[in-house]
Structure 1
Amino acid sequence: MNYRTLGKSGLRISEVGFGAWGIGKSSWVGAEDDESLRALNLAIDRGINFIDTAMGYGNGHSERLVGELIKSRSETIHVATKVSPINLKWPAVAGTPVEEGFTAEHIMKCAENSLRNLGLETIDVLQTHVWLDSWSGEGDWLDAVVKLKEQGKIRAFGISINDHEADNAIKALESGVIDTVQFIYNIFDQTPEEKLLPACIKHNVGTIIRVPLDEGGLTGNVGPDTTFPEGDFRNGYFRDDRKQEVYDRVKAIAGDLDASMEQLPEIALRFILSHPGVSTVIPGMLRSREVEMNCALGDGRGLPEEQVQKLKKHAWFRNFYK
């Protein structure tokens, strides 16, 4: 496993991290705790030392599973978690007052809850689970960040920005108070390359890349006849003719790179890791076979520049969360 520095936090983390949304058993259907713990343990065995979770993933269930893992292991495991917004609205709606998103009191309370769930004395990275750049310099949320750092309860503070809104963090990054930023970046959504990633490099802000496989779309396993379990959020994400659209586009990617559909997950993850502004990518991993596959890609090699350039024309900006 190759390791990278998470910006100004100074943390050395695996370039492939463990995305722990799915194991929270909310939105994603199919996770079982025993298998989730096996996947978590295997991830540590294979060199992963960074896990991204959130209070909102199963109302703390994901955090508690991660806490079980940490208690059973001797290795240093870096954990990032997230504070849910007060109004419980994902994503944050433009014009929302900061007081409906995050206050110092709310952040302090949530940090304490997460520390209990995780069984930790210090959280490596505490993040807001949504963000509006209009909140920079507003409200009292920063007071909580300063206090939590002074108390040794968090090492770094970050923001997780709204889906497909790559420019909705520039002001926060320029303020100098943000250590990390989490956002969507993949073959389809390459917009972070325009402003966000250059700003992260300039201000030494660590980057945590989510949705690297487009919720499964870039695995090559989603086709016109694909079905998802009842209650799984992907039924909405890939509704109507979206599965056919995705399938046609991933076939075009495979053809352009003279690759098989089975190679698409590797291509998708290596594309992201080829960017110098990326600290870590956090694919979701529900099962051991997914851990094995993803960890094998964390070797620091990325993609050949020729392939990276070919993938530029496959950018496809859209928002399937709506």
Structure 2
Amino acid sequence: MHYRTLGRTGWNASEIGFGSWGIGGDAWGQTDDSVALAALHKAIDEGVNFIDTADVYGNGHSEQLVARVRKERSEPLFIATKAGRRLKPHVASGYNNLENLRGFVERSLRNLDVEALDLLQLHCPPSEVYDMPEVFGHLDTLVHEGKLKNYGVSVEKVEEALKAIQYPNVKTVQIIFNMFRLKPAEAFFAAARERNVGIIVRVPLASGLLTGKFKSDTQFDAKDHRNFNRHGESFDQGETFSGVDYETGLQAVEELRDLVPEGTTMAQFALRWILMFPEVSTVIPGAKNPEQASGNTQAANLAPLSDDTMRRIQDLYDRRIRAQVHSRW
């Protein structure tokens, strides 16, 4: 495993982290806690020290699983969680309420069994929140109260990320970035580098499309968002297959197969592509079992991709994907 500095947190975070949405058991089909815990342990065995979760993943179940693993390990771990999506309705005004935020934070403190959260991220709030400095003042208050060590944001859109980093104490931005979502590299990474903001990459495999394992007739569990949210029925469409039409994505994946180095899985290839961008601090693919966790971590040790490979991926994006996603997110 290799490590990169996570912005102004000063943490040396593993290049490959662990995204724990999938183990929450509410949006990726059936899960098994014993297998999920084994996946977390396997990732840590292989050098992962950054774990991302959220209070809504399994209604807190993901946080509780992460807490169990943390107690069983001696290694220092950095745990990032998120808050805000429990608001009902999920509207901007709900974020501009210190008691709402404090309540979410205190619940996560209990779930994670800690006195202070390592990193709290606003969980893809409405765009209006980024024009509400009072919200970030509330987060400063929670830092002052000792409930948070650091805070950042998880965003849907590049424009939101650019607004967020204008606030001086936003230390990290979590954003969707993969071979089907190139806009962050074009329009955000340089600004983040200038302000020394850590970049956490989520949805790195486009909800599994970039594993190369799906076909036109692949069936997803009824509880899997890849079944029920393809058009944004439950949350932002960009969270599912990165907003790319499923059939278009399958066609693009077939074109990518020729670029994958021998002995490398397509998933590892997709993760290594992300690590080619030095502005990226850590990537958080999900894993529901130890085999997936181990496969993800091995991507950190792959050789750099060639300039020709990088150009061909850019060309593929421009031809097949850009028109669908670039202007939306």
Q: TM-score, normalised by structure 2?
A: 0.87
**Aligned equivalents of 2:39, 2:96: Cα separation in 1:** 33
- Map of 1:250 onto structure 2: 253
Corresponding residue for 2:31? 31
Alpha-carbon distance in structure 2 between the residues aligned to 1:88 and 1:218: 33
The aligned length equals 311
Whether contact under 8 Å (2:7, 2:172) holds in the other structure is yes
Q: Deviations over 1:11-57 (max 9, x none)?
A: 11101000000100011112110000011111111110000000010
Tell me which residue corresponds to 1:151.
Answer: 145
Shift of 1:122: 2.1
Query: Any runs of at least 4 consecutive aligned residues in structure 1 with deviations exceeding 6 A, and if so which?
Result: none
SS at match of 2:55: coil
Match of 1:69, SS? Answer: helix
Pair 1:67–1:258, CA change in 2 (3 A): closer
In the alignment, which residue of structure 1 is the partner of 2:274?
Answer: 272
Q: Distance in 2 between matches of 1:151 and 1:246?
A: 46
How far is the alpha carbon of 1:302 from its aligned partner? 4.1
TM alignment of 1:1-322, pairs within 5 A: 1-85=1-85, 87-88=87-88, 98-136=92-130, 138=132, 140-162=134-156, 165-237=157-229, 242-255=245-258, 257=259, 263-299=265-301, 301-315=303-317, 316-317=321-322, 318=324
Q: Displacement of 1:137 after TM fit?
A: 5.1
Structure 2 distance, partners of 1:246, 1:188, is: 8
Contact 1:222 1:246 in 2 (8 A): no
Higher helix share: 2
Contact between 1:80 and 1:125, CA under 8 Å: does it hold in 2?
yes
Alignment-mate amino acid for residue 17 of structure 2: G
Amino acid at match of 2:277: H
Aligned-partner residue type, residue 130 of structure 1: C
Q: Name the aligned partner's letter for residue 47 of structure 1.
A: G
Offset of 1:132 from its aligned partner? Answer: 4.3
The percentage of counterpart residues that share the same residue type is 36
Q: Is the 8 A contact 1:15 1:273 kept in 2?
A: yes
Q: 1:135 to 1:266 in 2, by over 3 A?
A: same
Gaps of 5+ in 1: none
Unaligned 5+ runs, structure 2: 232-243
SS at match of 2:165: helix
Pick closer, same or farther for the CA change 1:289–1:170 going to 2, 3 Å: same
- 2:269–2:299: 8 Å Cα contact kept in structure 1? no
Superposed CA RMSD in Å reads 2.4
Residues of 2 paired with 1:122 and 1:75: CA distance? 18
Q: How has the CA–CA distance of structure 1 residues 88 and 281 changed in structure 2, closer, same or farther, with 3 Å as cutoff?
A: farther
Q: For residues 213 and 179 of structure 1, do their structure 2 counterparts lie closer, same or farther at Cα, with a shift above 3 Å needed?
A: same
SS of the equivalent of 2:173 reads strand
C-alpha distance after superposition, 1:116-136 (max 9, x if no partner): 100112211100001345423
- Alpha-carbon separation, structure 2, partners of 1:101 and 1:46: 37
Per-residue deviation, 1:6: 0.5
Residue 243 of structure 1 deviates from its aligned partner by 3.9
TM-fit CA distance, 1:311: 0.9
SS at match of 2:169: coil
State the secondary structure of the residue aligned to 1:26: coil
Q: What TM-score, normalized by structure 1, do the two folds share?
A: 0.89
Question: Which residue does 2:237 correspond to in 1?
Answer: none
